[in-house]
């Protein structure tokens, strides 16, 4: 797939997820085979660019040479354009616009998926942002505002007309949030209605499901969200299956432990002692889920306040499961 000047080797993408898709998560996804990992959304309100949270969201790791795609969210076209230009100055090579987030705190500001109800405002935002920057602009949407108002096809046509160069579609409406069955028929209709690349998203959690979704919708690629949390190897698994019909098994406990310990070390360096320990807790939960004794382990490890203790406890937990695992300096 090609987006602007960027040719991607495969059709598997890592979705932008609020509070998840930081620089560490994105680099790991790409290392495991994702063609592109998009940043978590950043508010278009330029005043927020001075906050530490926003600086973390905008940060890219120095040794990450993948294409940098930054997602912005907002309602005002001029503010969105300014945010896009600022991010390009900071190193963004692709700007992604969020019109898919169903969170109340976003939709209450008439941003995210709330915009889908106002097609004229959608067009104003897309046109203004595309004309404000020289890099490719992509868009993420839902199929509509509710099951009785699926206007995803019209939004897609507006996007193509405005110069959007790729479109990711989550197969639920704003009202559905993340509940209920994903509906891929609208994505199929969108693919038939536009010529720009269309990427299918929504509950794609294994290689077989990815193949089924691509076959049904005719989409150009798939976007993996929650299934990649604590399981970055899913990108490799899907790519191998789509390209060569090859089945790649889940890694053993030893590899899971090594990946998690590496993530923890990076968390402490990027976020510092206080925030690093707290942000790391959800990653510990993801990587240890389903492993024998993990429920009791999480009860205790989530109480510790120091990175040294958190790291040591995590290493010891995995060493019980996989004695061969090594320990790195923390």
Q: What is the C-alpha to C-alpha distance for residues 95 and 73, in angstroms, rounded to an integer?
A: 11
Two tokens at 5?
A: 């000047």
Q: Assess contact for 257 and 284: CB atoms under 8 A.
A: no
Distance CA 316, CA 202 (A): 36
Buried b (16+ CB within 10 A) or exposed e, 74-97: bbbbebbbbbbbbbbeeebbbbbb
Active site residues: 101
DSSP string computed for 4-73? TTEEPSSSEEEPP-TTT--HHHHHHHHHTT-SEEBPPPEES-GGGGGSHHHHHHH---TT--S--EEEEE
Q: Does residue 250 contact residue 233 with C-beta atoms inside 8 Å? A: yes
Taking the CA atoms of residue 234, residue 237, residue 242 and residue 247 in that order, the dihedral angle to the nearest 10 degrees is: -150
**What are residue 201's DSSP bridge partners?**
170, 223
């Amino acid at each position: 797939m090609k987006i602007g000047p960027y040719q991607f080797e495969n059709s598997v993408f890592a979705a932008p997820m609020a509070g998840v898709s930081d620089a560490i998560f994105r680099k790991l996804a790409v290392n495991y085979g994702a063609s592109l990992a998009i940043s978590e959304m950043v508010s278009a309100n330029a005043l927020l660019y001075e906050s530490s949270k926003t600086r973390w969201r905008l940060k890219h790791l120095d040794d990450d040479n993948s294409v940098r795609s930054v997602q912005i969210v907002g309602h005002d076209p001029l503010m969105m354009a300014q945010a896009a230009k600022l991010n390009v100055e900071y190193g963004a090579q692709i700007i992604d616009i969020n019109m898919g987030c169903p969170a109340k705190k976003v939709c209450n500001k008439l941003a995210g998926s709330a915009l889908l109800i106002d097609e004229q405002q959608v067009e104003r935002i897309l046109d203004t942002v595309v004309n404000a920057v020289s890099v490719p602009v992509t868009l993420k949407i839902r199929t509509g505002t509710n099951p009785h108002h699926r206007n995803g096809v019209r939004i897609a046509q507006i996007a193509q007309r405005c110069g959007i160069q790729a479109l990711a579609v989550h197969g639920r409406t704003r009202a559905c949030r993340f509940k209920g069955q994903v509906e891929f028929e609208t994505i199929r209709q969108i693919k038939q209605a536009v010529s720009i690349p269309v990427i299918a998203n929504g509950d794609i959690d294994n290689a077989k499901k990815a193949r089924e979704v691509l076959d049904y919708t005719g989409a150009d690629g798939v976007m993996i969200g929650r299934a990649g949390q604590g399981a970055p190897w899913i990108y490799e698994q899907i790519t191998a299956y789509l390209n060569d019909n090859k089945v790649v098994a889940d890694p053993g406990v030893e590899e899971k432990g090594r990946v998690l310990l590496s993530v923890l070390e990076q968390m402490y360096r990027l976020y510092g002692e206080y925030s690093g320990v707290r942000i790391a807790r959800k990653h510990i939960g993801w990587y240890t889920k389903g492993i024998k004794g993990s429920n009791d382990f999480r009860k205790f490890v989530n109480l510790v306040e120091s990175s040294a203790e958190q790291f040591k406890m995590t290493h010891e937990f995995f060493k019980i499961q996989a004695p061969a695992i090594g320990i790195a300096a923390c």
